[in-house]
Structure 1
Amino acid sequence: MIRQPDDRAVQLFIKRSMIVRIASLSPKGNADVIPLWFLSDRGRIYMATRSENPVARDIMTNPEAVLLFHGERGPRKDRVLRIRGSAAWRTDPALLRRIQIRAAARYYLTPGGMWDTIKNIRKLPVWNRYHQERGGGGLIEVTPETAEFLRAP
């Protein structure tokens, strides 16, 4: 059954998800699927990545995208949420900053996130160097158009 993206059950499922798998089509018609951290903000879904990411390159030529959420922190392990929408590449510094601050609160400033950071504190210089070398960061912004719950495989 197709639902509206602002449906309460859809929003709750998104809130209970920590990872989204985004799928796009390359200019040659090949599917690219990658898992990313995400943030839901003002009716849109944002994923930070670099411009060289295959999905980021894909959406620059074909804005259609499919998002799959698994609701990892919820009680229902028997279903997946599929959202179809229109994607765009965003590099606006104010938007990047707002999303990065909210993502830090969601992924790092939780008890589990802080514990993971403490356990991996020696790896932070490598992590920082990796991100500095990659450069070209931005956001994939998806405007949801339809939502549908599917049975989990």
Structure 2
Amino acid sequence: MRVERFSPHPPARLRRALTGPELPAPWQTPGSRDFRPEVGHRCRTTSVPRPDTGFSGVVVVSVLALEAERMPRVRWADADPAHPADRTIAWTLEQEGRGTRLFLVHEGFDPDDPAQSMAWKIMDGGWRSHVMRSLGQTQERFS
């Protein structure tokens, strides 16, 4: 899935909103308060289990990369080996005028699996509404 948004803020402000230590990043679940933007860092997050999508409610997050313009890139895998969810999430920030074009790519869904297809629909809606709105609110705190 791909989500794109424009922010009137510079890339540094978005990087801070996505990875800064002051506040939990808006894309994290409530159970992921120990996330650290360090390559190799792993943490567990908890959320509401969704049996209809094959989601146990516990995810292992691994930071894969923290490049200057791609921050962060993480692996998001269901902690329960019985669930096949193993995905990557990558944010790309591109300067555009005085603002930033923000791109999100969330990969690893099997379109032929009905449960993963449903998970894609749910997450796509969440990224486009809740997470992007929360990111905008978080940026405003870093004036």
Q: TM-score range by the shorter chain?
A: under 0.3
When you count strand as a share of all residues, which structure comes out higher? 1
Larger Rg: 1
Q: Which of the two has greater helix per residue? A: 1
Q: Give TM-score scaled by structure 2 length.
A: 0.26
Higher relative contact order (CA 8 A, sep 6+): 1
